[in-house]
């Protein structure tokens, strides 16, 4: 009879956690991430990079590698979706495109080579001031927390809003969808990223049966726990494809919807403004 000895498999990470208490691990981890961050800043060419203390306003962490990685992946998704949907296919002049909620230019900086006439706006005055210094040739404006945007009617051929409608409650969704329609020309394109049923699984405290049922029934769910939060990024809104269609349908035709179309997490939806 052969006897088998059961040996517990322990990873190096688990050994590290067992040997060192959190009071020691955390400072070591922070120092390691800080060193990687400094190296990433040193090796990244081009426009200036935002300081660490400002990054928390757009991504909740101070690390530049996340800003660059997410920005690059998002920009490629935006570029591909808008181009394949016909942006710039009509007319001889380059399309004028707005980054609605541009923040610190995380997506904008990776679209500068598209040939599009890019503009940006955001409610964060400090972000816009920094962006004006970092990318002085880029037209960026501060907008108010409520419509209107500081642009004339039908000013843009295209507009994209990355992780913006993910933070509006339902009345705000309707108001801003109408305002987006005002500044985009008839036939123009609008790209919106949103959090759908797949993304809801990433929020353990929010992902409960009652909330999933509300999202499925209404096509939209706004986290009541953060409804009164003064921090915009802390407010969470979730949409189904049908819910997005209900909000944007009065002004736009839905062209395409990709679940997890942005980095496998947020959904990507492209609309065409009604003629």
Check: pTM over 0.85? Answer yes or no: yes
End-to-end CA distance of the chain: 81
Predicted confidence band at 1 (pLDDT cuts at 50, 70, 90)?
very low
Percent of the chain with pLDDT over 90: 71
- Record the tokens describing residue 165, joined without a space: 């409608």
Residue 235 is predicted with a pLDDT of: 81
Q: Are 200 and 211 in contact (CB under 8 A)?
A: yes
pLDDT at 54: 95
Q: How far apart are CA 58 and CA 106, in angstroms?
A: 9
For the stretch 117-121, contacts whose Cβ atoms lie closer than 8 Å and that sit 24 or more positions apart, written own/partner, are: 119/156, 121/149, 121/150
Does residue 230 have a pLDDT over 70? no
Structural domains in the chain plus CATH codes: 69-273 (3.40.50.150)
Residues 201-227 pLDDT 10s = 888 889 999 999 999 999 999 987 766
Task: List all residues 6 or more positions away from 255 whose beta carbon is below 8 Å from its beta carbon.
Answer: 85, 189, 270, 271, 272
- Greater confidence (31 vs 182) lies with 182
């Amino acid at each position: 009879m052969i006897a088998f000895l059961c040996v517990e498999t322990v990873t190096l990470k688990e050994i590290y956690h067992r040997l060192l208490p959190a009071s020691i691990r955390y400072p070591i981890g922070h120092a390691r991430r800080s060193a990687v961050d400094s190296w990433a800043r040193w090796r990244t060419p081009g426009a200036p990079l935002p300081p660490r203390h400002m990054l928390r306003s757009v991504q909740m962490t101070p690390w530049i590698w996340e800003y660059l990685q997410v920005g690059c992946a998002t920009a490629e998704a935006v570029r591909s979706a808008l181009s394949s949907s016909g942006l710039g296919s009509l007319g001889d002049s380059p399309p004028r495109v707005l980054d609605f909620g541009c923040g610190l230019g995380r997506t904008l900086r990776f679209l500068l080579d598209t040939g599009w006439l890019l503009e940006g706006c955001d409610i964060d005055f400090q972000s816009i001031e920094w962006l004006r210094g970092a990318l002085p040739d880029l037209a960026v404006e501060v907008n108010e927390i409520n419509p209107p945007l500081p642009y004339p009617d039908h000013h843009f051929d295209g507009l994209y809003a990355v992780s913006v409608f993910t933070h509006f409650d339902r009345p705000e969704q309707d108001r801003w969808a109408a305002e987006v329609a005002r500044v985009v020309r008839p036939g123009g394109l609008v790209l919106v990223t949103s959090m759908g049923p797949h993304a809801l699984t990433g929020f353990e405290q929010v992902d409960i049966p009652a909330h999933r049922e509300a999202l499925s029934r209404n096509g939209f769910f706004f986290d009541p726990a953060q409804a009164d939060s003064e921090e915009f990024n802390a407010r969470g809104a979730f949409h189904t494809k049908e819910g997005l269609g209900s909000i944007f349908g009065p002004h736009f035709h839905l062209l395409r919807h990709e679940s997890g179309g942005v980095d496998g997490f947020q959904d990507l939806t492209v609309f065409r403004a009604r003629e």
